[in-house]
Chain A
């Protein structure tokens, strides 16, 4: 009877999870969907607490309490600008939990002289390997995003060959363990190698490629959970893990497409390092610096203004300042829209969340395909801390390292203003011909500060 109740709670949880994700297809239905998913989770946890193998609740309750406190603290206080870091950390936690459950299961069986079937060992191996490499990979991604480690790719000669060799050895041990299970030293060697491989996998990947890496780690963490489901013969784990795994997988494909690059290229190309940047070609001409007052007048008398935010918006914490500027412009009858590139920022959808936080209605946020036809009728396009996503070389210069990447075609608008911290090159180290076009004016300085001063200037215009 109890078993039926547990299984029923899992079935309900699975259904609620799917309904929850379905709700995410629109902002209006998303909140209700999430409440369903939360309810499903609660059911599954209550059901599990009745599991017949549980003899003591001390450690369970302690773990639930500690985890809830940490989770609540992170959930309530992490600023929206730090969302990529938080997400990386939670991938690490999820994957680590999966790895630990797998290790514990292996240890339990073999320390009591038991035996795992080949199929179970195969699933367990997957679970532990994916879990381990995702843990360290996500931690390194977290360190890069948080600025604890340099965000530039770390490369050395023969890196790819070394990584491949290490992966081959790990998989070799895994294969051996499936056929001849039982060697504890070999098992722990495999776990250790997987932990190391996670670090090596993320090391050569630069911060600008983080949206892909985040999605990929998301996918691995989910698949590790799904593998746990195979080991424990638990269907809700398989379903939830697979949904997570596929969500990450779909996102990484979308991100790769938005950069016109293959997954292999992102993972092994060490993009953004000095060697690739050298092929960028020299630019001639000068950048035209413009005055704040001129821009304010241009904005104040424009019909349509499009803001194009990039990661610089997040670092400068300028999302509220943009909204204020948009407000004064709209009050004057100017149409204001926002053009969001899929890979702007450090994780999928990063810019949308930041602007939503600043109270920008989601109906003003436009995707790449929607906004591009509008640039020719735009009076002023304001680029805030974005670079590669507006680089016309991607469209015009087939020799460019980012050739073919879909861009926001701001250079087609009547006038472009670029808010930039300094004269330096962007993250990828590529020259951006947009900055040299006659239509473009450069405004240097901290984005938040510049925008605040623009608000005042527009009010007086």
Chain B
């Protein structure tokens, strides 16, 4: 990583941190559990790193580690999104909750 790349990465990091603070402070305590599972699913984006490691055939060790990493991150992405959807479906307004 060159120092230029580092600087631009730091810019992205700092701005994402700032944005994250703004966006996440607005999430009500009501939705803190779905928030946690959603951010978990989103950070499963490390899958993109794992995919390259598993598919690039650098060496056997890297391929095995990459494969395990793909399994772990995919579990998080799929499991995280499925469970967040499942939870959010349960939060109902008064009229709708009464009907069921």
Binding site for B on A (CB under 8 A): 10, 13, 17-18, 20-22, 24-28, 30-31, 34, 37-38, 41, 44-45, 47-49, 51, 53-57, 59-60, 62-64, 66-68, 70-72, 74-76, 78, 80, 83, 86-87, 90-91, 93-94, 96-98, 100-101, 103-105, 107-108, 111-112, 117, 119-120, 123, 214-215, 218, 221-222, 225-226, 228-248, 250-251, 254, 340, 342, 347-350, 352-353, 356-357, 359-365, 367
Residue among B25, B26, B43, B61 with the most chain A CB within 10 A? Answer: B43
Task: Tell me which of A17, A100, A215 contacts B65 (CB under 8 A).
Answer: A100
B31 contacts A119, CB within 8 Å? no
- A21: chain B residues within 8 A (beta carbon): 20, 23-24, 27, 35, 38-39, 42
Residue among B66, B77, B97 with the most chain A CB within 10 A? Answer: B77
Known A30-B88, A70-B79: A226·B13 in contact at CB below 8 Å: yes
Total residue contacts A-B, CB cutoff 8 A: 376
Known pairs A342-B29, A348-B33; list 5 more (Cβ under 8 Å).
A21-B23, A41-B77, A96-B72, A246-B20, A352-B31
Task: Tell me which of B56, B79, B85 contacts A74 (CB under 8 A).
Answer: B79
- Which B residues between 5 and 43 are near A, CB-CB below 8 angstroms? 5-6, 9, 12-13, 16-17, 19-21, 23-43
Q: List 6 A-B contacts (CB under 8 A).
A: A31-B85, A100-B50, A103-B65, A251-B35, A349-B36, A363-B94
Task: Tell me which of A68, A94, A361 contacts B43 (CB under 8 A).
Answer: A94
**CA A120 to CA B39, docked complex, whole Å:** 25
Q: Is the interface of B mostly helix, strand, loop or mixed?
A: helix
Minimum CB–CB distance from A23 to chain B (whole Å) comes to 9
Q: How large is the interface on B (under 10, 10 to 19, 20 to 34, 35 or more residues)?
A: 35 or more
Chain B 71-87, CB within 8 Å of chain A: the 1/0 string? 11111111111111111
A347 contacts B91, CB within 8 Å? no
A34 contacts B43, CB within 8 Å? no
B93 contacts A362, CB within 8 Å? yes
**CA A112 to CA B16, docked complex, whole Å:** 35
B54 contacts A75, CB within 8 Å? no
- B38: chain A residues within 8 A (beta carbon): 20-21, 24, 34, 37
**CA A103 to CA B62, docked complex, whole Å:** 8
**CA A242 to CA B50, docked complex, whole Å:** 18
- A365: chain B residues within 8 A (beta carbon): 30
Residue among B30, B37, B53 with the most chain A CB within 10 A? Answer: B30
- B78: chain A residues within 8 A (beta carbon): 67-68, 70-72, 75
* 9 interchain residue pairs of minimum CB distance: A67-B74, A75-B82, A63-B70, A71-B78, A349-B32, A71-B79, A348-B32, A244-B43, A349-B33
**CA A38 to CA B45, docked complex, whole Å:** 11
Known A44-B48, A51-B52, A100-B72: A222·B43 in contact at CB below 8 Å: yes
B52 contacts A53, CB within 8 Å? yes
